[in-house]
Amino acid sequence: MLPSTIHTFAEDHGLPQYRVNQAVEAVVKKGIQKWSDLSTWSKELREEAERSIPLQTLSVHKILVSSQKNAVKAALKTRDGNIIETVLMQPKPDDAWTTCISSQVGCAMACTFCATGKLGLMRNLSAEEIADQVLFWIQYMHEHNLGERPNNIVYMGMGEPLNNWKEVDESIRLLTSTYGYGDRHISVSTSGIVVMIPKLAKAWPQVNLAISLHAANDDDRSALMPVNRSFNLSKLQDALKQYFEITNRKVFLEYILLDKINDTPKHARDLGKFIEGINKPQLLHVNLIVYNKTKSDYSETPRDHAQQFLNLLKRMGISATIRKNLGRDIAGACGQLAGEKQ
């Protein structure tokens, strides 16, 4: 839902600004799902709003809850019948919730280990559709007594955010201005569209940046991620140098561990060299992710090998952790999101 629709409605009905503020707050903070719940408006206004202002551009297709109750995946249907997926996660018990949202229907990047990449790109999502995923989780959390709203928003669902820059940029503006999210509670993940990284830095210097790296030599990375053929590791290093000059803020390198593909000591040394080649290696943190199974021939790195890989990085003085995998049992973990066209 765009706040402008409420403003237009208010102007048409001669409502003062405080009535607009009441409506916006009820939607984005209290998570109302129908206008009849807006008790501060008269019955007549609520009934008219119900007819005139849709609260959501997305409808529920399917919801799956993980067995540990710390991850929920929602398949949401757009008005043109496409299905996108978004996830709500709680990394630690009693901790804040994080939502992973999609920016496109499908994805054109064709990363070989990613379920979304198998779909191809159908279309970009609008800024409203992107923000409405967050609105959906606000409504869901209120309905299920999980708290007020997600604490963190990560553009790491379906699609490449920097290939839909105009709408992603507008959606961040919507989430910060209307929803009241701080810039540092928002993260954007990219497969490495290097020409857009400085643009993101200038527009949103306080928004977190994550790079899907997954290999640190060009041959291996190009085999896993076709984007590397256009924007190789040297170009990615240059883009990160520019990013640091503008923001001086930490960047997260996402690295999925694939058994016998990118998890050997040599690959760890390649990663160390890649990081050393950037002017501020202390601002890089590696998130190691044990592969989450999709319809591919890859296998996950054994846990003891993942720990050995982590130990090698730490001996090289690299900041790194093994990220906890949430939502595997509902295909809601990293790389597993795969919507469909109805």
Q: Name the residues annotated as catalytic.
A: 85, 334
Under a CB-based contact definition with an 8 Å cutoff, are residues 121 and 108 in contact?
yes
Q: Is 324 helix (H, G, I), strand (E, B) or coil?
A: coil
Under a CB-based contact definition with an 8 Å cutoff, are residues 159 and 178 in contact?
no
Q: Is 102 helix (H, G, I), strand (E, B) or coil?
A: coil
Under a CB-based contact definition with an 8 Å cutoff, are residues 293 and 260 in contact?
no
- Cα within 13 Å of Cα(128), Cβ side: 12
SS3 content of the chain, % helix, strand, coil (to 5): 40, 20, 40
How far apart, in whole angstroms, are the C-alpha atoms of residue 234 and residue 223? 16
How far apart, in whole angstroms, are the C-alpha atoms of residue 112 and residue 205? 31
Alpha helices in 57-196 (DSSP H): 127-143, 165-177
- Would you state the structure tokens that stand for residue 185, as one six-digit string? 């509670």
Instruction: State the DSSP H helix or E strand holding residue 313, giving kind and residue range, or none if neither.
Output: helix 303-315
Q: Is 124 helix (H, G, I), strand (E, B) or coil?
A: strand
